[in-house]
Structure 1
């Protein structure tokens, strides 16, 4: 795609028929913490609470009268769907939106409220996309791509135009969330054309890093699977057009985990009193990670694009639990203490005035007890200091702060031991979360091996997480390995993991 043509399309875009010019707001608390000026581009303030309205409308406003008569169809996890639905409503067109069955209800309801027909198909965006393409061929409706269309990219590029016009002074870098790459490509193409010294930094989740892998490989890479927590960027393959633009304009990609995203949601709330969806806070998480890795921050402001605020309320439970860990303000430890009167008080004395956020205990033997404890901390270095103090106090201690097994399951299961279990193999599973999904998962597990442990907790997220133990005789290990491989669900074996051995084995 010629850059001059793209720039012309950005400057002549019709997005403001339905979209608004969003503010570039300062983030005073985050700026003070990082020691540099941080600005937030508030795309969460669009009529559909996401930037997606820009690209969708710019594409649909250019349809011919004949194309408008046939209607449009789109595949989306939610935000593009709302953009297409509102655009169709404004233009008086029929719209069909195909959404994965894992899409949060708030997004499904918002699309229906705009008058669009919603079809739920598959568990991922890839499934919905394939179904929508088939329907487009069958019905003659125009397919509105969520990111890989020149006019969609141009519509998203108007965000870059606004940032350049609204900047209060020098800019050092712009952090942009990346799914298929439409927003990244649009902003990058415009900003590099007018302010080439400004760094363009894409941000992806570690488990949905298609752009990072593609740029490293020099060609588009298709991910085998993607994490669904940040569902707005859960894309297995970036666009052809977007990748071509990114190779020429993007300076680097930063990867962040879910805990960092949850911490960023809290950061945005602290400065704006607004709650972002995970993909919406992705750029802030990347900005923080990038800033922390710089020996000296460059002069000029850092901009993070807040891309959306369509948060499923139920998911706030998970976000609140993980935000403190992501901000390194809580550490989790497994500690062995003597089983006698006064032992708990002695333990707390070593911790001093620190806040204990969680304390789980159950009698193990008459000689000693294993406790699961959460401690309020100020930083990772502070958590390391707690670890040293406990060991100097003579305690056997393990740091579980980075253990997914501990964070997702063990903290809710402490004391769940059984002396009757024989040769247990313990695995974590992830499956698409939707009504009936847990029953389907259990049916798939079958009954060949006795289930000796099971923990499931609905987090309000797009994936269900189960911890299961199976009694597997040694001679059946190979068959069990084959079962896990053929099961069709993502799995991780945690047999022998420290948190399991201390509290559940």
Structure 2
């Protein structure tokens, strides 16, 4: 590399990248409804309209088209459970070479079928991306095929950087910031390299989910950080360790980061749908979610922002979850646990307090002679309004807990109100992430102590690779160390919820 700096190092690579044999110059469209709501101009770079519904084919093809005829003759190999796999398979078909795609056995069938339709040979191996990645490297050594990395390769980075080249050509007026979702870092490394070389006044803002923020943690630490677990809702950005080269570029060139949660991403999917009638995958909506958060945090008006809608490979079964959580993400729905006296007239008095608001959910079961705990969902008009509603209930004598941002309440308890049992002695409550594959539950049960009892179990399929499971375990207090050993042996991500006030109000 030259001494001119990382941005100029990549400028020539991006300008000479070959992507348009397989990729289109994706449209740059203004989200007019969202722009009007935010008081800022919001543009969408529609990479979800690529032939494989993702930007990933740009980098894959730019890498593969530069291979020698001898290398192409030996084929290519990659590890991926999604968009990169389809990009490699399509590029291989265009170049007339064999592509082997190693995918975890947990990969949904829709993604396996998509790769096979494009001509790729699918090898299923391991339970995770890490397992598949290790097997792909082993196949590379034994077959002589060329490994195509999903993000940590200069040619892949340069291919993704052509998106920024198109943005600046399509929108030549002032741009205040471009918001880019980050997984391994290939997209933001390419985009930042081009923008900082050509229009350095434009901010490049990276976007990560709160449970998959490896790049942000790495930048803060000054070195690459490996996460123990990553959230899987935004599977396109669920990366435990960012690339070495992508980290170098991001640390030097990215201006700032926004961290968004699942509800905000779901609301972003809805925002894009309302403006375009298109449905993005979670990673594709992260930029939109970040723009909304940035505007709310800074109060800026009249600025111009671009969000790269980087993918639309959404499992249809996940739309139910997205629709439910989008209302909370927009803070159009507020959730509460309200305690009311078990006496005549109290319920009517509580309903009078609700007034003209739309009730989105109301769950109640009698469980005590003196008081009743009610789970209530109400429509809200502005962000932060739930705290005002809760305060109003309390002022009128109804003890209230605001559950609008409580994950246990949103994912499970809203469907389980009335489940308190006097028989659940010594109960401990846990949320687990189980892989969606046969045998996951049996692994859990077979390792559990035979004298322990499952006192609560709640599961709801959300159409994802992993499911959030709520489990109550009855474990004697003197067996706490055995319980910890059991939890560690599973290697399933978990959170203990035994002290959660929602649990104690409705289930304990």
TM superposition score normalised by structure 1: 0.97
1:160 counterpart residue number: 164
In structure 2, distance between residues paired with 1:216 and 1:130 = 28
2:485 counterpart residue number: 482
2:464 counterpart residue number: 461
2:335 counterpart residue number: 332
Deviation of 1:445 after TM superposition, in Å, equals 3.4
Matched, 1:194 2:201: no
1:211 counterpart residue number: 215
1:347 counterpart residue number: 350
| 1:197-346 aligned within 5 A | 197-297=201-301, 300-346=303-349
In structure 2, distance between residues paired with 1:295 and 1:421 = 49
Question: Given the alignment, which residue of 373, 377, 380 partners 1:374?
Answer: 377
Superposed CA offset, 1:286-315 (max 9, x none): 121122111435x64100000000000111
1:19 counterpart residue number: 23
- Please provide the CA RMSD for this pair: 1.5
2:436 counterpart residue number: 433
Matched, 1:137 2:141: yes
Question: Given the alignment, which residue of 77, 80, 88 partners 1:84?
Answer: 88
Q: How many residues align?
A: 504
Query: Where does structure 2 lack aligned partners over 5 or more consecutive residues?
Result: none
In structure 1, distance between residues paired with 2:232 and 2:195 = 30
In structure 2, distance between residues paired with 1:421 and 1:243 = 49
More divergent stretch after superposition (354-363 vs 372-381) = 372-381
Deviation of 1:423 after TM superposition, in Å, equals 1.8
In structure 1, distance between residues paired with 2:495 and 2:468 = 11
2:68 counterpart residue number: 64
In structure 1, distance between residues paired with 2:449 and 2:37 = 51
In structure 1, distance between residues paired with 2:269 and 2:52 = 19
Deviation of 1:248 after TM superposition, in Å, equals 1.7
In structure 1, distance between residues paired with 2:128 and 2:210 = 17
1:54 counterpart residue number: 58
More divergent stretch after superposition (187-196 vs 456-465) = 456-465
Q: Verify the 8 A CA contact 2:386 2:404 in the aligned structure 1.
A: no
Deviation of 1:5 after TM superposition, in Å, equals 4.7
In structure 1, distance between residues paired with 2:266 and 2:386 = 19
Query: Where does structure 1 lack aligned partners over 5 or more consecutive residues?
Result: none
Deviation of 1:379 after TM superposition, in Å, equals 2.3
Superposed CA offset, 1:401-431 (max 9, x none): 2211111111111111211222211111112
SS of the residue aligned with 2:334?
A: strand
| 1:444-459 aligned within 5 A | 444-459=447-462
2:502 counterpart residue number: 499
1:361 counterpart residue number: 364
TM superposition score normalised by structure 2: 0.96
Q: Verify the 8 A CA contact 2:447 2:486 in the aligned structure 1.
A: no
- Over 3 Å counting, the alpha-carbon distance change for 1:119 and 1:441 in structure 2 is farther
Matched, 1:397 2:400: yes
In structure 1, distance between residues paired with 2:103 and 2:444 = 22
In structure 2, distance between residues paired with 1:448 and 1:459 = 32
Q: Verify the 8 A CA contact 2:32 2:42 in the aligned structure 1.
A: yes
In structure 2, distance between residues paired with 1:102 and 1:305 = 28
Q: Verify the 8 A CA contact 1:431 1:441 in the aligned structure 2.
A: no
SS of the residue aligned with 1:16?
A: coil
In structure 1, distance between residues paired with 2:128 and 2:349 = 51
In structure 2, distance between residues paired with 1:454 and 1:500 = 13
1:182 counterpart residue number: 186
In structure 1, distance between residues paired with 2:470 and 2:235 = 23
More divergent stretch after superposition (169-178 vs 416-425) = 416-425
- Over 3 Å counting, the alpha-carbon distance change for 1:358 and 1:310 in structure 2 is same
Q: Verify the 8 A CA contact 2:45 2:308 in the aligned structure 1.
A: yes
Q: Verify the 8 A CA contact 1:169 1:300 in the aligned structure 2.
A: no
